[in-house]
A = this chain, B = another copy of it.
């Protein structure tokens, strides 16, 4: 398989390619040239050709890329050719927002359980899924083939919950708590630190101001 040699930089770009190719596919587009895709995605055509070469997506002169083939290849590399079972820990606004994202289900990410420590929320249904007490989490993960836990608890609770998740053998944590988790290497973590993202925007604004004043 080719993906062994794919660099982190290419990997980081794959979700965006996947999104655009999926939209083209949904629109019934069968093939596309690197130039057309370049215009659409606002990256250079040579970047696209280089990236796609990494996983056997060789365009043909005068034909372009086969959209369906590329889409399926990228899906395989990204592990999107199989179903993932998710639980959400923390049934606050953010947890509920994530539970309601229709798009995740369409990509094979199925939310099967939602947990919270607040008894007032027990039994409440979010998109048909009942909020359960945290005490039931460990058994639920073991019995329901859960591979991903989504962490939307406050920062102060996150490290403790992550410890519980590691103990029960979770494979991956999607972490929205604003703290870096210290888990064993075999547990994969993807952080969504929203404050950091907002701060990057503030930086761009700040630079913009500096430039408009003539640069410093």
Contacts and interface: CB of A to CB of B under 8 A. Distances in A.
Contacts of A15: 193, 195-197, 199-200
Given A97-B93, A204-B172, A199 B78 contact: yes
Interface size, A (range): 35 or more
Given A4-B215, A103-B178, A206 B78 contact: yes
Interface in A161-216: 171-172, 174, 178, 180, 186, 188, 190, 192-210, 215-216
Each complex incorporates copies of this chain amounting to: 2
A42 interface: yes
Interface in A81-128: 84, 92-94, 96-98, 100-101, 103-104, 107, 109
B107 A199 contact: yes
Given A174-B197, A197-B192, A205 B84 contact: yes
Nearest to A20: B180
A49 B168 CA distance: 39
Contact of A196 (B19, B205, B207): B19
A82 to B, nearest CB: 8
29 contacts: A1-B210, A3-B207, A12-B200, A14-B199, A14-B203, A15-B199, A16-B193, A16-B196, A18-B199, A19-B193, A77-B203, A79-B202, A79-B203, A79-B209, A92-B97, A92-B100, A94-B97, A98-B194, A107-B198, A148-B201, A148-B205, A171-B205, A172-B204, A174-B198, A174-B201, A188-B205, A190-B204, A192-B194, A192-B197
